[in-house]
Structure 1
Amino acid sequence: MNRASDYETGIAAKPQPMTLEQAAWITPPTQLTDTEAMLDMPRLRRYRQERLRKQIKLHNLGGVLLTDPLSIRYATGVRNCALFQTHIHAGYLFVPAEGPVVYFDSSPGRYTGNQLETIDIIRDDLLPISHMFAGSRHEEWCRKWALQIKDLMDQYGGGNPRIGLEKAGTEGTIAFQNVGLEVLDAGAALAMARKIKSAEEILCMNQTIAVAEDGMTRMRNALVNGISEVQLWSHMWQANIEGGGEWIEYRLLASGERTNPWQQEAGSRMIRAGDLVCFDCGMIGPFGYGADISRAFHCGPGKPTDHQRMLYTQAWEEIQHNTELMQPGADFNDIIANRYIQPEAIGQQTYPALCHGLGMGDEWPVVYYPADEQFHFDGQLEAGMVICVESYVGEVGGNEGIKLENQVLVTESGPITLSRYPFEDNLLNPEF
């Protein structure tokens, strides 16, 4: 039906919600515009809070008390000194199964919270609940904190004394128990809420990936004989900050002999011609969403060696093969059984995880290799999960290794790779 017939009949097509498959291919505009559809942030926040409330009920909790800044942002959208609050408790958030969401914070957080529809009550009677602020009175303030939250549970917890706590510490946990609350870990409810992403979350994630890939391009262009590892890594940080991002979780960039074993952090080593350079971006970017992608470059001049190409090709093969296993309904144990198996000579030194979840940082689940069978747990992939597929290849005691990783969305129609940065032709094809 064309537009003319719409006007003639008075009937217009109703916009349909975006599917995950559609969102997977869209990098949204982020500057104010009157000609393009923007991210629907109220819908994003509503979706996340509704998922959390559903899990609070499923875990039979009267409410949860959140102190981790990523959890507070997931539940409401509030951001206030996030990195500081990862190690010093400041603001905290009470989310009941039913009833008003109550936020306690300093004035900057309260100002932000006042603008958000996800918070019903903002209070300024914030209590000093860390040793930095409370000192020798920490136990005293924890008792007052417990009474403060007990009052909220009495009002809004529906008579259920079970509360999910997050990073309350020993003194806090004891204080909550002493006022008659049954204390449980909020982690399970949070993990189950976060695991399924909405289309808006995928759009946010795509923006973070675009920023990460900008950083990769800057690094690749800056990679010359004589640059140090930390100098090269600074280009990723600069791209993230300029792109509206938050931070990078680690300094995982290594070159030359430091690529084996993996997980050596960037240092002052000078990168030399002929070196492999591997990195894992581990970025918390725009809107607080993660980009967790790994690539490996070859520093010129000159061409990669046959051994470097072999390592790279084997890691690439593992990524391609295991990505196809990221199907909705796939059992974790079946993924392990059907994984790509490296040749014995280079397969004894795997990455710690075959794959893992991602959202606002690394998330549940983690699927391990057989060597770590003691850590295995049951579960299945579901549509809406974002899974990072990992590979590390390098001989035990060898001088080089390759780390690769892609970010994959699980959909009803199969896996869609969100990370688009290309792999290296000169490391895959001897013609280059």
Structure 2
Amino acid sequence: MTQTQNAFKDDRKLTYLNSNGADKPLISPVSATVVDSARSYRLGRFKEILVQNDVAGIILYDPINIRYAFDSSNMQVWTSHNPVRYAMILADGPAILWEFKGCEHLNDGLPGIDELRTAVSWMFMSKGDKAAAGVEVWADEIADVLRQYGGGNKRFAADKLDGPGLHALESRGFTYVEGAELTERARSIKSAAEIELMRWTIRVCEAGMARIYEHSVPGVTERELWAHLHFENARSGGDWLETKLLACGPNTNPWYTECSDRVCQKGEMISFDTDMIGPYGYCADLSRSWTCGYTPMNDTQKRIYSTALEQIDHNLAILSPGMSFAEYNEKSWRIPSKHVDYRYSLAAHGVGMADEWPVIPLHVDFGDTATGGEIEPGMVLCIESLVAEQGSESVKLETQVLITDTGYERLDSFPWEVV
């Protein structure tokens, strides 16, 4: 790197690399007591919402919900599209995990699991023409559990359930209740222990962002930069990245172009969105933009960046517990007309073990279909901005905040650019 390239390097960003030295992974300071507290709280939230909605039990196939309930992690990406492990939480009964055969030992020591069974798979990939018979075996076992612990309540919920399983339970006299709303609402309010776990994920993410910044020099490819976030996350105990949203120069506009082998050029804008599922299963969803080679921004880059930061600052300032989503929309920052066609579709969204409810659309897109509800203490929200115009690059900014009894607290602290 030449002295000219290094002249505008922001050393504040590099301080987010771990204090043990960049050659070592980050070591979590979170205590076992905090982890156990989060586990107990989360399982309790699921049971509480079942009682509130008069549901006997909920079947969980979504690996994020299984992680939330039990802190049980096994092949989460693969099982998100292959229904081979599942759980049931009973409102007035045990919490049962059906684990993929041969993986039962992965759950040793997890206190929330009252009973561990071997999963019954009935997906076509593994059962083929025997799938119909497999679903009957599965449904008989699920029905037996509901009858045993349901107290006569025939209402069951599921977060994700393929049609054959749903029809099989209905044919046995049970009534389906949509489970996604139950799990999303339960997960939306975080405990203090959860926030401590999330703070650590964000710390790991910011170390990964510092690596991206350190290597943001001419000649690097978008994929090479993105790999630095994967590296820091994986070696520090994290799980995966939900997207591949890092782009430079013309690839930033329109947004959503996934990282490629394009070589970044000096002075181009580098913009990214982490979408990182990190240690303890929590999400760090942060966005930043800066120039390749640590060059000062040109006039257009400065103007667009300042506009994006204005949106973030405004929409943070109006956050208030008890505010309805509709009121937040009414008071939110208004995007100038020349940026409307290049806009991001939302102003804020919930985040926990992944992106969550609620999603508050940008005012341009806030209509009758926007979710109702209000901002509550204990929610964690991501406040977003994407600003571009015809022929420009895109600037993507995003921060993650905890809603408190009196306002909000930012959970990330990776510096914005100085413009």
Do the two structures share a fold, i.e. TM-score over 0.5? yes
Given that residues 318 and 328 in structure 2 are in contact (C-alpha distance below 8 angstroms), is that contact kept between their aligned partners in structure 1?
yes
Given that residues 56 and 90 in structure 2 are in contact (C-alpha distance below 8 angstroms), is that contact kept between their aligned partners in structure 1?
yes
Q: Give the match's secondary structure for 1:176.
A: helix
Q: Equivalents in 2 of 1:77, 1:50: separation in Å? A: 13
How far residue 399 of structure 1 moved from its aligned partner, in angstroms, is 2.9
Given that residues 143 and 176 in structure 1 are in contact (C-alpha distance below 8 angstroms), is that contact kept between their aligned partners in structure 2?
no
- Where does 1:377-396 land on structure 2 (aligned, <5 Å)? 377-395=371-389
Report what 1:241 is aligned to.
234
Report what 2:49 is aligned to.
55
Letter in 2 for 1:193: A
More moved, 272-281 vs 177-186: 177-186
Given that residues 27 and 236 in structure 2 are in contact (C-alpha distance below 8 angstroms), is that contact kept between their aligned partners in structure 1?
no
* Equivalent of residue 334 in structure 1, options 308, 327, 335: 327
Given that residues 139 and 168 in structure 2 are in contact (C-alpha distance below 8 angstroms), is that contact kept between their aligned partners in structure 1?
yes
Q: Equivalents in 1 of 2:371, 2:34: separation in Å? A: 36
Letter in 1 for 2:137: K
Q: Give the match's secondary structure for 1:346.
A: helix
Q: Give the match's secondary structure for 2:346.
A: coil
Q: Equivalents in 2 of 1:120, 1:421: separation in Å? A: 41
- Where does 1:13-412 land on structure 2 (aligned, <5 Å)? 39-107=33-101, 109-124=103-118, 126-300=119-293, 302-372=295-365, 373-395=367-389, 397-412=390-405
How far residue 302 of structure 1 moved from its aligned partner, in angstroms, is 3.7
Stretches of structure 2 lacking an aligned partner (at least 5 in a row): 1-25
Q: Give the match's secondary structure for 1:218.
A: helix
Q: Equivalents in 2 of 1:377, 1:152: separation in Å? A: 34
How far residue 382 of structure 1 moved from its aligned partner, in angstroms, is 0.3
Given that residues 39 and 203 in structure 1 are in contact (C-alpha distance below 8 angstroms), is that contact kept between their aligned partners in structure 2?
no
Q: Equivalents in 2 of 1:320, 1:343: separation in Å? A: 16
Report what 2:3 is aligned to.
none
More moved, 191-200 vs 166-175: 166-175
How far residue 180 of structure 1 moved from its aligned partner, in angstroms, is 1.1
Letter in 2 for 1:42: D
Given that residues 368 and 375 in structure 1 are in contact (C-alpha distance below 8 angstroms), is that contact kept between their aligned partners in structure 2?
no
Given that residues 332 and 363 in structure 2 are in contact (C-alpha distance below 8 angstroms), is that contact kept between their aligned partners in structure 1?
no
Letter in 2 for 1:365: P
Aligned CA distance change for structure 1 residues 95 and 301 (closer, same or farther; 3 Å): closer
With the length of structure 1 as denominator, give the TM-score of the two structures.
Answer: 0.88
How far residue 166 of structure 1 moved from its aligned partner, in angstroms, is 2.4
With the length of structure 2 as denominator, give the TM-score of the two structures.
Answer: 0.91
Number of aligned residue pairs: give it.
394
Report what 2:7 is aligned to.
none
How far residue 38 of structure 1 moved from its aligned partner, in angstroms, is 5.3
How far residue 92 of structure 1 moved from its aligned partner, in angstroms, is 1.0
List structure 1 segments (4+ residues) > 4 angstroms apart after TM superposition. Answer: 30-33, 36-39
CA RMSD, aligned part only? 1.7
Q: Equivalents in 2 of 1:390, 1:369: separation in Å? A: 9
Q: Equivalents in 2 of 1:203, 1:80: separation in Å? A: 23
